[in-house]
Amino acid sequence: MPDTTTAPPTPKQGRVAAWWGPAVGLSGLGFYAATTVPEGAAGRQIFFNVAQPWAVYVFLAALIGLMVYGFVHHARLWGLGRPTPGILSEIPHRFRNAMRLGLVQEKVRRDRYAGIMHWCIFSSIVVLTFVTAQVAVEGDTPIKFLHGTYYLIFSFYGDLFGLIGLVGVAMAINRRYFQDFHRIRWDEKIEDSLIIVGLGLVLISGFFVEAARILVTELTQHPDWAPWSFVAYVIAQGLTGFHMSEPTVLSIHVWSWWFHIASAFSWLALIVFTRLDHLFFAPINAFFLRTDSPGRLTKIEDIEQQEIFGVGYVQDFTWKQLFELDACVRCGRCTEVCPANIAGQPLSPMHLIQDLKMHLADVGPDLQTHRHQFGDAGREVAGMAMVGDVIKDETLWACRTCGACMQECPVMIEHVPTIVDMRRFLVMNEARIPATAQAALENLEVRGHPWRGTSLERTTWMDGLEEVPIFDGSQEYLYWVGCSGSLVERNLPVTKAVFRLLRESGASFGVLGQEETCNGDPARRLGNEYLYQILAQQLVETFKAKNVQRVITNCPHCFNTFKNEYPQFDGHFEVLHHTEFLDGALKKGTLKATFPIAADVTYHDSCYLGRYNDQYDAPRQIIEMVPGANLVEMQRNFSKGLCCGAGGGNMWQEEVGERRVNHVRAEEAVRTGASQVISNCPFCIQMFEDGVPAVHPEEEGRMRPFDVAELLEASVFGPK
């Protein structure tokens, strides 16, 4: 270890510290720590020639005041919202979310480039703040520890993470200005450049402050410790070629120090006025993230007593939903994966959140004044309606409720519940709903299913089958066929396949037959919460009366509703999707896939089984156990899979936009070259039945859509 004992400061150096610049700039602490190294100790004198350092504390006090003002201003707007029930339950789980999703940035890592870039910048900020805090402790308290071996290590990792921060800044500049990266230009503002360039200036100027200090000490002392600050040392060595005198270097140090301080405080002030506030809001929003299933929508409690249904005005949102508006960083990840936006339809989740944020900023102050004077009397103070003018009807109806936006959002915004809340206002307060969707709801209310014009009955699928057992409470499972499984011609073979496989496996099960009715999922997603609650309560009572304990479903939407939403109505049942049950039967040996199916197949992840309920493996494992079947994945798969286009009630709506979503997804499936596209959802099958011929008009060699159960049936019983 080299001798690092240093001489006392010369008079011209004064008694003002100029410790490592980037750390100073990022935390605002310890700008002029007074550190004295004991005689004979290994250390490094950090006093230098900057005069009047008290100005730094004035800047710091002003910055703190600005941040407090900004937070209070935001908090007053959030306070316009309604209470958020259960927001402080399951505290340990919420802290884990704050660490995993907010600080560790788990979702950002889904984009590898962005993950590395954010890690570089964020880790640099964290470590350099820690560096500066240590200098503050050293200078402003009796505790002295920045000497000896630790001081050398301290110098090294300070420079290391300053360099890491610069790498992150360079990556951000490359993506924003040199790559053809359209997402970040959807809503670009001047503040975005100020954030990136400003951080780079803070870090670079900090290195030059340190380099000037190393250079002047080398002119007089030739310290052995300087190479430990390896980045600044390299810069200092480069500056030696200019043969500057000591007074010149001291002058450079003073001016670079003040430039560094000014740029640091200016950058920190951006937190109050720009999306840089996500440094704080992202971990907080991760803490407030719902702890139940993402596939569960909020229940309107005491719906009979409500005057306003859903959200039509700013104050109808919960305060947590209003907080989310400020957490948005305009990164565009949500819009980039939105199936409606991909198909050129009138929905951008990012712009929806930003439009709501601007509307809150516009009407919020007047609402605060109005509430102070008149209480909650009066609903709207703006000249334009939030739902209808700020957020267009067609924007809300284009949503598939697929959850891709929420899956990708790095600051944990929950777009889908916000959209459905506004749909509820449209449907139940304004009676504004697309005609085809309204027809589906009317049919649901009158006939117990959404399929208008079907000639099929609940038991039609039983034709040609022997001994279909009716559930009487003695069987282990209720096989729930669902509306699509019994009333849509294309899905009857799927229902029969599941029935034959259940029977072959030896499962104890029965069906409800004519007693089945819709569980209400289409009504809830389309915004008619009142109708949904009626249907849900009726079916929960039926299940309890028949002693239903375990349910197997065909449809992922039914699966999600029974599993995640019926507990809101005291309906607690064990629910399996048919792929889960069949996968288990194959593994147990009660089913055997023996007949080879020589085909290349691709698999489509349905949103309500995969993204909302994290079931990606069982369907794929079934395919892998079918002899001869070769699985070829689409480019977008697993949690990044693209919606088929039917979700959110769009099965019963006319699409508005450049293309149909199912055509976009069918193209991706056809592009794999597979002969079959396999799914697990009756809606998805119908979407592919329409989409594949549209993108591949020639019948010869055309891909055919099948359910996983149909593929397995052919392997268990032999091809038809």
What 8-15 contacts at long range (C-beta under 8 Å, 24+ apart), as own/partner pairs, is 8/45, 9/45, 9/47, 10/220, 12/49, 12/250, 13/45, 13/47, 13/48, 13/49, 14/47, 14/48, 14/49, 14/50, 14/51, 15/47
Q: What is the pLDDT of residue 38?
A: 36
- Positive or negative, the CA dihedral 220, 225, 226, 227 is positive
Could you give the CA distance from residue 227 to residue 65 in angstroms, rounded to a whole number?
A: 39
Candidates 659, 648, 94; CA nearest to 403 is 648
Question: pLDDT digits over 533-569, tens only?
Answer: 999 999 999 999 999 999 999 999 999 999 999 999 9
pLDDT above 80 for 578: yes
Neighbours of 228 (CB within 10 A): 21
For 553, the enclosing helix (H) or strand (E) is strand 550-553
pLDDT above 70 for 223: no
Laid out side by side, the sheet with 704-707 consists of 629-631, 599-603, 676-679, 704-707
Q: What is the pTM assigned to this prediction?
A: 0.89
Burial 235-263 (b: 16+ CB within 10 A, else e): bbeebeeeebeeeebbebbbebbbbbbeb
Could you give the CA distance from residue 647 to residue 402 in angstroms, rounded to a whole number?
A: 6
Pairing of strands 550-553, 477-480: parallel
pLDDT above 90 for 213: no
Between the alpha carbon of residue 400 and those of residues 150, 340, 502, 510, the distances in Å are 56, 7, 32, 32
Question: pLDDT digits over 85-131, tens only?
Answer: 888 899 999 999 999 998 888 888 888 899 999 999 999 999 988 98
Q: What is the pLDDT of residue 380?
A: 64
Question: pLDDT digits over 228-246, tens only?
Answer: 889 999 999 898 888 888 8
Question: Per the structure block, which two tokens stand in for 338?
Answer: 């939105």
Question: pLDDT digits over 141-151, tens only?
Answer: 788 887 778 88
pLDDT above 60 for 422: yes
Q: What is the pLDDT of residue 40?
A: 34
User: Could you give all domains of the chain from N- to C-terminal order, each with its CATH number?
Assistant: 11-82+108-273 (no CATH), 290-432 (1.10.1060), 455-720 (no CATH)
For 685, the enclosing helix (H) or strand (E) is helix 682-695
Confidence of residue 49 (pLDDT cuts 50, 70, 90): low
Q: What is the pLDDT of residue 320?
A: 97
Residue 294 C-alpha from the chain's centroid: 11
Task: Calculate the average pLDDT of the chain.
Answer: 88
